[in-house]
Amino acid sequence: MMLVPAGLQLAFALLGAALVLPSLDSKRGLLSFPVVQKRSQPLHLRKRDNVVALGNVSTLTYLIRLQIGTPPQPVEVVLDTGSFELWVDPTCATAATEGQEEKCNASGRYVPNRSSTYVDQKATQHIGYGKGGAEISYAADNILVPGSNSQALRNVIFGVGLNTTELAWGVGGIGHGNGFNLHYNNLIDELHEQGITQSKAFSIALGGQYSETGGAIIFGGVDTKKFSGRLHKFDNMPPQIEGSKEGPWRYWIQMKSVGVTTPKGFVSTYEYSTMPALLDTGSTWSYLPQHIFDSLKEDFNATLSEDGSLEVPCSMVDQSGTVDFTFGDLTIQVPYSEFISQLEPGYCAPGVLPRKGSYDRAVLGDSFLRSAYVIFDQTNQHLYMASYRDCGTNEQTLSGEVGAALNLTGQCHSSHHLFASIPMCWFIAPSAFVLWIFALFL
């Protein structure tokens, strides 16, 4: 989710330091949550600086389920690497549609005065997003550690929605917290400080567009059965607001290029596609500068919709092409089947929108991140990436050591592109046939 600058200065709210409490022991040093997928409508698209609703379409949002308070109250929040504060309790009545209001109603509420461990922080704040905003009141309370009966992270500071607009879910902002963008500990800081994790690192697999399982976020750890090949290490770049050194710390990575491999095997790499890119799980779409958007439109042979998005025939979802994002010597190939979303029957759109007024910054949202496995390491300001695959579960702890993840190799096979084997068959099959005939004569 993209924060609007107005909310940023306010994010440096004057809040008392979090209380120092006994740290909880954790043998494993990692904490894993499944990523919950929710489809919702309508989709909001940014058009110039405004955002317009795109009719009656459905998009996918990735959430995690938290249990807050004593006794624990379940709430769902958007998993958002693009912001850095946690808040709950959106005002459902202001959700964009009745459908969203219904989803909002079902996502759980935290009622402060039903928790014996609730502490009012006596501070409020406004957070603005690309679409909608939230007026919140800060609270501190316990957050239950999943998989344990009663172990909790104590006195975590978060916001309780007072009046929010056009948001169907609270937000679990897991960007850079204390010392970077905040003067209090956010969830990542508390997990580390209270000894649940050994480092301020976490890894995310969102899971495929049409598989309900396979997504997980592991605080303090990594799952080597969620990717293939080795992890590549990148610097987490400092704030990248155009024309300014100001702005929040976020998960910026240097992107080397964008291109496509068409179903017929034609490979293109776009000019001027080297730029910093923000990794944002809270953004459904990826935002690329106009010239790249135009190149993709051409390569997809897409038509421009009224709202500024692209439309392609839904049959393209089943074609074997990929959109290729390169970082250093790693290329993440996003299959058309994950990049293109069916928004309603017969209406399919590639997951890209133009980033207006920007020709050298990108936002890589879910349409990209579904195909990547990413470790966000705030302890060392590194980002690690590999290609997402799902071949089971093998969670391992990440120590805070520099480069700790480099020794881990994905246990999944690299091939998921069925088409990759098709051209090969033409070469292998005839020769195998020849060998087989030859064998008959022996």
Ligand X SMILES: *[C@@H]1O[C@H](CO)[C@@H](O)[C@H](O)[C@H]1NC(C)=O
Spatial contact of 277 and 287, defined as CB atoms under 8 Å apart = no
For ligand X, the closer of residues 164 and 181 by Cβ is 164
Identity at 267, one-letter amino acid code: V
Residues near ligand X (CB under 6 A), total:
14
Spatial contact of 353 and 47, defined as CB atoms under 8 Å apart = no
> Considering only 23-31, 97-105, 202-210, 270-278, which stretch makes contact with ligand X by CB under 6 A?
97-105
* Least gap, CB of 349 to ligand X (angstroms): 14
Residue 96 interacts with ligand X (CB under 6 A)?
Answer: no
Contact track, ligand X, 369-408, x by CB under 6 A: --------------------------------x-xx--x-
Residue 101 interacts with ligand X (CB under 6 A)?
Answer: yes
Closest CA relative to residue 115, chosen from 86, 148, 79, 152: 152
Residue 193 interacts with ligand X (CB under 6 A)?
Answer: no
* 80 assigned to active site: yes
Residue 163 interacts with ligand X (CB under 6 A)?
Answer: yes
What number of other Cβ atoms are within 10 A of residue 179's Cβ? Answer: 11
For ligand X, the closer of residues 321 and 335 by Cβ is 321
Both tokens assigned to 45: 């698209």
* Least gap, CB of 442 to ligand X (angstroms): 47
Residue 116 interacts with ligand X (CB under 6 A)?
Answer: no
Contact track, ligand X, 133-162, x by CB under 6 A: ------------------------------
Spatial contact of 75 and 41, defined as CB atoms under 8 Å apart = no
Catalytic: which of 89, 141, 280, 377? 280
Interacting residue with ligand X among 102, 257, 263, 396 (CB under 6 A)? 102
Residue 92 interacts with ligand X (CB under 6 A)?
Answer: yes
116 burial type by CB count under 10 A (0-12 exposed, 13-18 middle, 19+ buried): exposed
What number of other Cβ atoms are within 10 A of residue 428's Cβ? Answer: 11
Closest CA relative to residue 297, chosen from 312, 315, 316: 312
> Considering only 100-108, 269-277, 282-290, 355-363, which stretch makes contact with ligand X by CB under 6 A?
100-108
Spatial distance between the Cα atoms of 355 and 371, rounded to a whole number of angstroms? 21
* Least gap, CB of 304 to ligand X (angstroms): 11
| C-alpha gyration radius of the chain | 22
What number of other Cβ atoms are within 10 A of residue 234's Cβ? Answer: 18
Residue 98 interacts with ligand X (CB under 6 A)?
Answer: yes
For ligand X, the closer of residues 134 and 182 by Cβ is 134
SS (H, E, C) 49-97: CEEEECCCCCEEEEEEEEEECCCCEEEEEEEECCCCCEEECCCHHHCCC
DSSP conformation letters of 380-441: TTEEEEEEE--S---EEE--SSTTGGGG-EEEB-S---HHHHHHHHHHHHHHHHHHHHHHHT
Residues in the chain, total: 442
> Considering only 94-102, 140-148, 153-161, 173-181, which stretch makes contact with ligand X by CB under 6 A?
94-102
Interacting residue with ligand X among 23, 39, 56, 238 (CB under 6 A)? 56
Backbone angles phi, psi at 15, to 5 degrees: -130, 145
For ligand X, the closer of residues 56 and 269 by Cβ is 56
**3-state SS class at 176:** coil
Residue 113 interacts with ligand X (CB under 6 A)?
Answer: yes
Residues that bind ligand X (CB under 6 A): 56, 92, 98, 101-102, 105, 113, 163, 165, 301, 401, 403-404, 407
Return the active site residues: 80, 280
